[in-house]
């Protein structure tokens, strides 16, 4: 069976509308128009975060457009790891936004809000997005703001975050679970602690005890500082998995630039799932071929990237394999998150019996 050939290089993100699944609406929004795709759950998104002081961004404010760190206007090559599509100016703007400006209420961050994320979800047929905060042992608690705002948006599923050095780690896990966290995000670079540090390994065990899956940022991405690159080497994640067989792990970015090393964990550790955000298309195909179909998860790293980037790659890599596509885009995440069975009911059948009429991607009410 030959694969239909589709383009993989685009003049901009909106240019992805040359693929059969997407269209441009209102001149500036890429929407999913193929009814047979979905429902979709995005396992990897962020809202604006702050450090060292109270969050100065209003997470409830809708703005006319979202400023992604990869601007919609830049060319996109789906074969590349996503961040390799940023040019120098975009890279500079991103680093500034995530460092100095994160102390302020300014920057692209002001568009990384709950209603802006919800608008993109509607455009792309994504029914739920998992929102991942990152906490430090002291100072701003991003988990608090995420847990709070997610209560007001049915489509946002909050994870919590605890720093391995937090003296209060165990009780904070319980508090966050009580407040609705369905898992815990750990980020070796942003939290400045290695995945094989004894405190990290211990915290992963506690997460398992409390029934909270751990979503690790996993692997070097090529643009982090040298120390962060050393901390996020894929081999350093093995200890936490090996010593905590009762904890469910999700490897964010599937090991990123070292995905091929992470693939060795698939056999060894049945408690490990692979989240697919940012991987270039050849890498993604390799992960899909190697990892059992029930342990793969769609994720996007919004607002770094428009959610269509990883979606397009998955649609390209699963053509002619509807069962795999459905597992990756929805069913595996629904199972992991324990979502209501009606969410996981086969939507395709329901749509077919309803006549399969074109469903409007957005509500049309979010003016810009
Ligand atoms: Zn992320």
Q: How many domains does the chain have?
A: 1
Residue 125 CA to ligand 1 center (angstroms) comes to: 21
Let me know if residue 72 belongs to a domain. yes
Q: Which residue has the higher pLDDT, 355 or 152?
A: 152
Instruction: Report d(CA 163, CA 77) in Å as an integer.
Output: 35
* pLDDT value of residue 99: 85
Residue 45 CA to ligand 1 center (angstroms) comes to: 6
Mean pLDDT, residues 318-344: 88
* pLDDT value of residue 346: 42
* pLDDT value of residue 2: 60
Residue 302 CA to ligand 1 center (angstroms) comes to: 8
Q: Which residue has the higher pLDDT, 3 or 121?
A: 121
Residue 363 CA to ligand 1 center (angstroms) comes to: 27
Residue 115 CB-density burial (10 A; 0-12 exposed, 13-18 middle, 19+ buried): middle
Let me know if residue 9 belongs to a domain. no
Let me know if residue 325 belongs to a domain. yes
Let me know if residue 202 belongs to a domain. yes
**Residue 105 dihedral angles phi and psi, to the nearest 5°:** -100, 30
- Enumerate residues with CB within 5 Å of ligand 1 (an ion): 301
Residue 174 CA to ligand 1 center (angstroms) comes to: 23
Both tokens of 189, joined, read 């670079």
Instruction: Report d(CA 257, CA 285) in Å as an integer.
Output: 14
Residue 220 CA to ligand 1 center (angstroms) comes to: 12
Mean pLDDT, residues 230-240: 96
- pLDDT tens-digit profile of 123-151? 999 999 999 998 887 776 899 999 999 99
Let me know if residue 17 belongs to a domain. no
pLDDT at 100 > cutoff 90? no
Residue 357 CA to ligand 1 center (angstroms) comes to: 35
- Which pTM was predicted? 0.90
Mean pLDDT, residues 73-89: 97
- Indicate the pLDDT class of residue 355, thresholds 50, 70 and 90: very low
* pLDDT value of residue 139: 72
- Residue 338: give the domain boundaries: 23-344
Ranges assigned E (strand) in the chain: 9-10, 22-25, 29-32, 40-45, 76-77, 126-131, 156-158, 184-186, 214-217, 249-252, 272-275, 296-297
What mean pLDDT, rounded, does the chain reach?
90
Residue 296 CA to ligand 1 center (angstroms) comes to: 17
Residue 164 CA to ligand 1 center (angstroms) comes to: 18
**Residue 187 dihedral angles phi and psi, to the nearest 5°:** -135, 100
Cis peptide upstream of residue 279 (ω within 30 degrees of 0): no
Residue 218 CA to ligand 1 center (angstroms) comes to: 10
Mean pLDDT, residues 262-278: 97
The region of weakest confidence among 72-86, 196-210, 338-352 is 338-352
Residue 217 CA to ligand 1 center (angstroms) comes to: 7
* pLDDT value of residue 367: 32
The region of weakest confidence among 115-119, 125-129, 163-167 is 163-167
Mean pLDDT, residues 52-74: 90
Residue 351 CA to ligand 1 center (angstroms) comes to: 33
Let me know if residue 18 belongs to a domain. no
Residue 145 CB-density burial (10 A; 0-12 exposed, 13-18 middle, 19+ buried): buried
Torsion region of 164: left, alpha or beta (phi above 0 gives left; psi -120 to 50 gives alpha) = alpha
Torsion region of 107: left, alpha or beta (phi above 0 gives left; psi -120 to 50 gives alpha) = left
DSSP lists the bridge partners of residue 217 as 252
pLDDT at 364 > cutoff 80? no
Residue 30 CA to ligand 1 center (angstroms) comes to: 22
- Indicate the pLDDT class of residue 301, thresholds 50, 70 and 90: very high
Both tokens of 253, joined, read 């970015």
Instruction: Report d(CA 252, CA 31) in Å as an integer.
Output: 25
Residue 183 CA to ligand 1 center (angstroms) comes to: 14
Residue 160 CA to ligand 1 center (angstroms) comes to: 14
Residue 348 CA to ligand 1 center (angstroms) comes to: 30
Residue 147's SS3 state is: helix
- pLDDT tens-digit profile of 32-62? 999 999 899 999 999 998 876 677 889 999 9
pLDDT at 193 > cutoff 60? yes
* pLDDT value of residue 243: 98
Counting Cα atoms < 13 Å in the Cβ hemisphere of 108 gives: 20
> Using alpha carbons only, what angle is made at residue 69 by residues 67 and 70, rounded to the nearest 5 degrees?
105
- Indicate the pLDDT class of residue 350, thresholds 50, 70 and 90: very low
- Indicate the pLDDT class of residue 340, thresholds 50, 70 and 90: low
Residue 352 CA to ligand 1 center (angstroms) comes to: 35
Helix axes 281-290, 308-317, angle to 10 degrees: 60
Residue 301 CA to ligand 1 center (angstroms) comes to: 5
Let me know if residue 231 belongs to a domain. yes
Mean pLDDT, residues 268-279: 97
Residue 338 CA to ligand 1 center (angstroms) comes to: 22
Instruction: Report d(CA 40, CA 352) in Å as an integer.
Output: 18
Read off the CATH number of the domain in which 312 is found.
3.20.20.140
pLDDT at 343 > cutoff 80? no
Let me know if residue 58 belongs to a domain. yes
């Amino acid at each position: 069976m030959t694969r239909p050939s589709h383009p993989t290089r685009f003049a901009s993100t909106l240019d992805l509308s040359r693929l059969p699944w997407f269209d441009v609406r209102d001149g500036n929004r890429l929407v999913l128009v193929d009814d047979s795709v979905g429902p979709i759950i995005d396992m990897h998104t962020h809202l604006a975060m702050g450090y060292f002081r109270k969050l100065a961004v209003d997470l409830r404010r809708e703005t006319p457009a979202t400023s992604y760190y990869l601007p919609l206007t830049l060319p996109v090559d789906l074969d590349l790891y996503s961040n390799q599509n940023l040019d120098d100016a975009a890279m500079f703007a991103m680093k500034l936004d995530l460092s100095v400006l994160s102390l302020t209420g300014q920057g692209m961050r002001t568009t990384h809000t709950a209603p802006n994320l919800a608008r993109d979800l509607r455009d792309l047929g994504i029914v739920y997005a998992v929102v991942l905060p990152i906490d430090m042992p002291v100072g701003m608690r991003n988990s608090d703001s995420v847990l709070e705002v997610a209560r007001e948006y049915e489509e946002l599923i909050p994870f919590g975050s605890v720093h391995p050095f937090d003296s209060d780690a165990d009780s904070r896990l319980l508090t966050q679970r009580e407040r609705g966290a369905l898992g815990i995000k750990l980020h070796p670079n942003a939290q400045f602690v290695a995945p094989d540090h004894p405190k990290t390994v211990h915290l992963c065990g506690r997460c398992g005890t409390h029934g909270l899956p751990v979503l690790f940022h996993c692997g070097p991405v090529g643009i982090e500082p040298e120390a962060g690159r050393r901390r996020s080497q894929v081999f350093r994640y093995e200890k936490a998995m090996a010593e905590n067989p009762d904890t469910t792990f999700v490897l964010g970015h599937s090991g990123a630039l070292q995905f091929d090393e992470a693939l060795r964990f698939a056999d060894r550790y049945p408690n490990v799932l692979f989240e697919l955000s940012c991987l270039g298309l050849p890498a993604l195909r390799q992960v899909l071929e190697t990892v059992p179909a029930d342990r793969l998860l769609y994720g996007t790293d919004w607002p770094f990237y428009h959610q269509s980037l990883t979606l397009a790659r998955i649609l390209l890599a699963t053509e002619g394999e509807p069962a795999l596509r459905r597992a990756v885009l929805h069913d595996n995440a629904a199972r992991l998150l324990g979502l209501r069975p009606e969410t996981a009911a086969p939507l395709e059948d329901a749509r077919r019996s309803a006549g399969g009429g074109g469903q409007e991607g957005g509500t049309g009410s979010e003016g810009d």
